[in-house]
Structure 1
Amino acid sequence: MALPSHKAVQIGDDSLQDWKAVGAGGFGQVYTARHKDWGFNVAIKVHHHGYGSNTDGALWHEAYHMEQASNPFVLRLFGVYRGCPPGESSVRLGIVMEFMERDSLQSLQQALSGPPPWPLAFRLAHQVALGMNFLHKLTPALLHKDLKPSNVLLDEDLNVKLTDFGLSRVSTSDLNSSRFTAGEEGSLAYMPPEAFDPSYEPVRAYDMYSYGILLWSILTGKEPYPAAPYSRVALRIPLGDRPPYEVIDQSKADGIGELVDLMKKCWVHKPSERPTFQRCLLVTEHVYSKHKDRIRATVTQVLSKLEPEDDHLPSNVHVPSSFHAQPPAQSMDTVDHASFPKTKGSSKQQDSVATSTVKLSDTDKAKFVDDHKATLIQDIANVMAIVDDLRDMVHPETYARIQAKETNQEKVRVIYTNTLRSGQKVKAAFYDALIKNELYLMRGLVADD
C-alpha cells in the first residue's frame, strides 16, 4: 500500500475546532476546521467507513500522490487525520489539505452564469496545463483521471489548485499495472472514447482528452451534454460525439481561436494523435501573455461580483510584518466611555449605553457586528484606521485589496467577506476598533438597540 512519507503530519481532534461540513461524495464527507496551533482553516476529507476498513488504502493512495505531486498548482497536503468528526461515533481516517476560499471552477461558472472574463479564462486554461504537465513529468508519471471543473479549485485570487487524487494512478506506460472497468472512475462526460472499453489501460492521453473537454467548459462556462442521460453519453462518445465548438464565438478575444484549435486536437479520437501537456503550454502561455497585463483588474472585477455571495467562506489569517509597529488596539475594557460625544437624550440613557458596551462578551460583540452589517458597510468612515487596529488579523493580500478599493463601502465589504470570516475573536476585535474609531456611529447604533 502506498503511504505518505514520514513528513506527513498526524492531526487529531485536539488540534481542530470550529468544524463545518462543506461537501460530500461517495467517498465520505469534506469539512473545514480551524487548526488551533496554525491559526488558519484547513479542509479535511474523511471517509465514510471507520478506521481499519478496506477503504483505508484508497485514502493513503490519494495522500501519497498529493504529496508526490506537490507544486504551486496542486492542492497542498498538510497531513493525515485520525479522529471522530462531529456527529460521528467511531474513529475515521482523513486527509488534511489547504482550504480554498473560492471553491472551484464549477462554482465560479455557476456564480457568473457563464465563462469568466477572457483574461481570467486564459489564465485558468494555462494554470491547469501547468499543473497537469508537472504530474505527467513525474517519474513515473502520475495521471489524474478525473479532470473536470469541480476538481479545479481556486484560491483567494482565483489561481488554480488541482485536487481529488482519489482516482489518480501511475501511468501504465511507465508502470504496467492497474486495470479498471469503464464507468467505475471519473466523470463520463470527460472520459475519452477508449476508456469505455473494459480492457483499457490508462495512459497520459486519458488526461489530454479530459483537458480538451475542460477547455470547452472554460470557454463556454457550461457543462458538456447537460441534458443527455449517462447511457447515451457512454454510447455517443466512442462514436465520435463531442461538445459543439461552434457555440464559441472566436471573435470575442484574441487567442480564443488558438484555444479552440488546441481543444479539438486534445479530444481527437486516436490517443496517439493528442498533444502532450508540454505542447499545450506553448499555446496556453502564448494566449495568456496577450492578456496578462489585464489579469489583476479582471480578478478584482470578478471578486467584486462574488463577494456578496460568499458569506460562507472563512479566511486564513496571517501576520503582515508592517503591522507589528502599530500600537495595540484599545480594548473595550480600557475605553474611556466618559469621552463619548454626547448625543440627544438624558445623561442616564448615555451612561446606560456606555455601561452596556463594557459588559458585552465576545459572542455579543460578534452578534452586534453581524446584525449591523448593512449599516456599518454604509456608514463607516475611518476604515483604514480600523484595519490598522486589527493588525495581524488581516491577511496582507486582504490589506492590499482593501487599500485598492475606491470607496469606504467597498473597503468594508472586503473586511466582512474576508477578515471577519475567521470567527468570533476577530469580530470582537473589529467591534473594539469601531468603538475607538467610530464613536458617533457606534453610540447611535448601541442606543438604537
Structure 2
Amino acid sequence: MALLSRNTEPIGNERLEKWVSVDSGGFGHVYKARHKELCIDVAIKILRDDVRPALYEEAKNMEKASCPFVLTLYGMYQGCPPFGGTSMQQGIVMEFMERGSVHSLLKDLSGPPPWPLAFRLAHQVGLGMNFLHSMDLMHQDLKPSNVLLDDNLNAKLADFGLCRVSTSALNSSREATGAIGGSHKYMPPEAFEASYKPTRAFDIYSYGILLWCIVTGKEPYPMADYSLVALGIPRGDRPPCDKIEQMNVEGLKQLVDLMQRCWVQNPSERPPFKECLKVTENLLSMHKKGIPNAFLEVSTRLSPTSNQHSNCFPHPTPEQTQANDTVDHVRFTKMKVIPSSMQDSVSTKIISNAEKAKFVDDKRAALIQKVSEVMAVAEDLGNMVHPEAYAVINAKGTSQEKMRVLYQRVLTSGGEKVKAAFYDALRNHHPALMDSD
C-alpha cells in the first residue's frame, strides 16, 4: 500500500496498546486502541480482503478533506491486530469519537436533541460538506450514522468509502450491484436512473433529508424497502414537514424551507452549501446562548447512571401534550411505547446476546423465507452493514434474496454483536414473527 503524503511511516502494533473491538460486520472491523506517542485513543478501521482496495482511496480522501468538521486521519495501520489472527492487516488510523454518531444520539434520546444542539449540528455538517465540495470532493453517503460526535457533541463527517472526485462518474460498483452505494433513503431522485452520473447536488439532497432527521429524531420512510423508496422518491415523495412547521421555535421556518429547497426534484435548483451556511449560521446565532444548558441536559440524559426507560422524568402538562406528540426537543418526556403484544415477553425475560445470536443461526432458513422488511432491518444495523454490502442487498429483487445476501455478507462474518443487533431489529420490525418463532 502506498503511503500518504504526510505520513511517512505506517503505524504498527508497537505504537498501539489497549486494543478493544468496538464494531464489526460485513465490512470488516473497527478497533479502539491507545496511541502511545500521541497519548490519545484512536480508531482503526480494517476492511475485509475483498473490499480492502478501497481503503487507501478512502484514506486519501480523508487527508484531502482535512478540516475541523471532518474526522482526523492519523495514518495507515499495518500489523496483526490482537483479535485478528496472525495474518498481516492494513487499515486506517483515525480519530476516535467517544460520543458515537448522530444516528446513535437520536436512538439513545428516543428523539431529537434540544434546539440549540440541533441547529449547531445542522451548521457544522454544512461546514464540513462545504469544505468537501471546495476540494472538488463529494461524500455520496451523507446520513446520520456517518456524522460522528466528539465529547462536546460537535459534528464531524466520517466514512469516505464512497467519496468521489466531483467531476468523475461512478465506477463499476453500480454495474456490479445494480444500485448506487450508500443508503437509498438519502439518495436523490435522479440517482435511481440507470444513466445517472453523480454531481454535488447528490450531497445537497442528502443534507436536506439529514436535517429532517435531526429535527424530528426519526428515520425517513421507516417501513419502506428499497423498491418502494426507488418508486416514491422519483415520483416526488419526501418526509412530512407539517408537524414541524406547527412548532413555535424561532428560526425553525427557515430551516424547514432550507431542507425543502435541498430536496427539490430538479438538481439545478438545490442551493450550494455556501448558500445553506447563510441560513444555518443565522439560526445558530439565534440559539447559541442555549448550547451550554442543552449540552448539560443531553449529557445528563445519556449518563450511564441514568435509566433511559424509567419514569423519573416529569410527566408533561396538558398544555405540553400536543407538542410532545410531535417533536420534543426540550424535556425528553416522550417515552418509547412497547406494543401490547410484546409487553409480557419484554418484562419477564431478558435475552443475552449469545441467545440472540443462537436464535439468528438456528432460524436462518425460516427467517430467509419470512422476513419482508429486509432493508428496514439492514438500516437499523447502521455501520455494521458496509455500503458495498448494502448496495448488493438493495439490488436483489426479492426479500428472500436480500436475506440470503444479508446472512452471507453481514451476519456470518459479523459475530455475536451483529447477530444480536439483527435480532433486536427483527423484534422491532417483525414482532409477530419473532413471537411465533
Q: Per the shorter chain, which TM-score range? A: 0.5 to 0.7
Secondary structure, aligned partner of 1:260: helix
Structure 2 residue 194 is matched with structure 1 residue 198: yes
* Aligned 1:46-445 pairs, distance under 5 A: 46-49=46-49, 55-89=51-85, 90-138=87-135, 141-172=136-167, 175=168, 178=171, 181=174, 183-308=179-304
8 Å CA contact 2:245, 2:256 repeated in 1: no
Please give the secondary structure, in 1, of the residue aligned with 2:198: coil
Q: After the TM superposition, which of the residue ranges 291-300 and 146-155 deviates more from structure 2?
A: 291-300
Letter in 2 for 1:88: G
Letter in 2 for 1:129: G
Larger Rg: 1
Q: Secondary structure at the match of 2:31?
A: strand
Alpha carbons 2:300, 2:306 under 8 Å: kept: no
Calculate the aligned-residue CA RMSD, in Å: 2.0
2:24 paired with 1:24: yes
More divergent stretch after superposition (87-96 vs 157-166): 87-96
Measure the CA separation in 2 of the matches of 1:168 and 1:222.
25
Deviations 1:170-200 (A, max 9, x none): 012xx56746526240100000111111221
Offset of 1:27 from its aligned partner? 2.2
Q: Deviations over 1:220-260 (max 9, x none)?
A: 00010111122211221111111111131443310111000
Q: How far does the alpha carbon of each residue in 1:335-374 deviate from its partner, in whole angstroms, 9 at most, with x for none?
A: xxxxxxxxxxxxxxxxxxxxxxxxxxxxxxxxxxxxxxxx
Query: Is residue 31–residue 45 contact of structure 2 (8 Å, CA) maintained in 1?
Result: yes
Deviation per CA, 1:1-38, whole angstroms, max 9, x where unpaired? 98621435411112212211112243211111111222
How far apart are 1:68 and its partner, in Å? 0.5
- 2:93 and 2:199 map into 1 onto residues whose CA distance is 28
- Once residues 35 and 305 of structure 2 are traced to their aligned partners in structure 1, the CA distance between those partners, rounded to angstroms, is 25
> Counterparts of 2:172 and 2:204 in 1: how far apart (Å)?
19
SS of 1:81's equivalent in the other structure is strand
Q: Distance in 1 between matches of 2:213 and 2:25?
A: 22
Contact 2:180 2:191 in 1 (8 A): no
Gaps of 5+ in 1: 312-449
Query: Which amino acid in structure 2 is aligned with residue 122 of structure 1?
Result: F
Q: Which amino acid aligns with 1:210?
A: S
Mind listing any 5+ residue stretches in structure 2 that lack a counterpart? 308-437
Read off the aligned partner of 2:154 and give its amino acid letter.
N
Q: How far did residue 261 of structure 1 move?
A: 0.3
Q: Distance in 1 between matches of 2:68 and 2:28?
A: 26
* Aligned residues of 2:23 and 2:30 also touching (Cα < 8 A): yes
SS in 1 for 2:32: strand
**1:198/1:4 CA distance change after superposition, 3 Å:** farther
- Change beyond 3 A, Cα 1:309–1:47: farther
Quote how far apart the aligned CAs of 1:97 are: 0.4
Q: What TM-score comes out, normalization by structure 2 length?
A: 0.66
Deviation at 1:305, TM superposition (A): 1.4
Q: Which residue of 2 aligns with 1:366?
A: none
Cα pair distance change 1:300/1:46, threshold 3 Å: same
Structure 1 145/8 Cα, relative in aligned 2: closer, same or farther at 3 Å?
farther
Task: Report the 3-state secondary structure (helix = DSSP H, G, I; strand = E; otherwise coil) of the residue aligned with 2:42.
Answer: strand
Cα separation, 2, equivalents of 1:310 and 1:22: 22
Matched to 1:70, the amino acid is S
TM-score, length-normalised on structure 1? 0.65
SS of 1:5 mapped into structure 2: coil
Kindly provide the CA deviation profile for residues 85-117 of structure 1, in whole angstroms up to 9, marking residues without a partner as x.
Answer: 233221111000000010000111011111100
Q: Is the 8 A contact 2:65 2:132 kept in 1?
A: yes
SS at match of 1:153: strand
Give percent identity, aligned residues only: 58
> Within 2, Cα distance between the matches of 1:83 and 1:310?
39
